[in-house]
Amino acid sequence: MNESLRNIWTIAKRELGGYFNSPVAYVFIVIFLLLNGFFTFMLGNFFEIGEASLTRPFFSWHPWLYLFLVPAAGMRLWAEERRVGTLELLLTMPITAWQAIAGKFAASWIFLGIALFLTFPVVLTVSFLGNPDLGAILAGYLGSFLLAGAYLAVTVMTSAMTRNQVISFILSVVICFFLILAGWEPVTNLLVRWAPSWLVETVASFSVMPHFSSFQRGVVDFRDLLFFASVMVFSLFSTSVILRGLRSS
């Protein structure tokens, strides 16, 4: 491993340890799994649909579930460092701000991946009951993981903006909510009335919904991958700008 990857891994390991050494990780995972079960089996009418598929009953809830859970998992990342003053310690280590950002992001993303992985009984259930398209399920999981990553990158950014975790949480929810709503029809319809169509399309293209739904259908399109990657890169880049601005003002 080269030095920068090693530094990223050192930071990520500490953050992961931070999750699992406190009740946060366990509370989060339990709530995540409970809500998933509730949405899938109660609201999603998993049994009544009579389809051997996870698209509608399972994955379609994730944008809404993540809307609150991902900011909750990531709001601490920079806000806490700023509040306690360890930011000064971290940024005077022989590492770049990028390595610190990447390490923190990776740790939280891995953590969300672990929580998502623990939903596997749903896959076992649907395979036991019918004959689902496992490729589509895998694509759905990939999409869900990327969606979580995109929200998380936004949360990393809002977390660097403030030393208050609650503010970071709220800002992140608002931005992620925009990422859902921008392409949501009732909203685009409102815009169409007065805005030129290029504006409506531009706004709508920020939405995670169309990109996420193609994964749910089992389609892994390069453009969708690019969309999620660019949301993440943009947010993490903004984080580095915010951290630099914090110190030079």
The residue among 131 and 248 lying less far from other proteins, judged by its C-beta, is 248
| Minimum distance, C-beta of residue 24 to other proteins, in the bound complex (Å) | 10
DSSP codes, 129-169: HS---HHHHHHHHHHHHHHHHHHHHHHHHHHHH-S-HHHHH
- Taking the complex as a whole, the smallest distance from the CB of residue 106 to other proteins amounts, in Å, to 15
Please state, in angstroms and rounded to a whole number, the distance separating the CA atoms of residues 248 and 246. Answer: 6
Q: How many beta carbons lie within 10 A of that of residue 172, not counting itself?
A: 28
Q: Smaller CB distance to other proteins: residue 33 or 110?
A: 110
Shortest separation between residue 103's beta carbon and other proteins, angstroms = 10
SS3 58: coil
Please tell me what DSSP assigns to residue 40. I
Question: Hey, what's the torsion of the CAs at 167, 186, 141, 9, to 10 degrees?
Answer: -30
Q: Evaluate whether 78 touches 163 at the Cβ level (below 8 Å).
A: no
Beta carbon nearer to other proteins, 89 or 226? 89
Q: How far is the CB of 206 from other proteins (least distance, A)?
A: 33
Identify the burial level of 209 via C-beta atoms within 10 angstroms of its C-beta, where 0-12 means exposed, 13-18 middle and 19 or more buried.
middle
Q: How far is the CB of 240 from other proteins (least distance, A)?
A: 14
Q: Which residues bind other proteins (CB under 8 A)?
A: 3, 6-7, 10-11, 14, 17-18, 21-22, 84-86, 88-89, 91-96, 244, 247-249
What is the number of alpha carbons within 13 Å of residue 194 lying toward its C-beta? 2
With respect to other proteins, which residue has the nearer C-beta, 103 or 183? Answer: 103
- State the Cα–Cα distance between residues 74 and 168, nearest whole angstrom: 9
d(Cα 205, Cα 210) in Å, to the nearest integer?
8
- Shortest Cβ distance from residue 235 to other proteins (Å)? 23
Comparison of 95 and 115: residue with beta carbon closer to other proteins: 95
Comparison of 116 and 243: residue with beta carbon closer to other proteins: 243
Measured from the CB atom, is 50 or 85 closer to other proteins? Answer: 85
Cβ 92 to other proteins shortest distance, Å: 5
- The two tokens of residue 200 are 């409506």
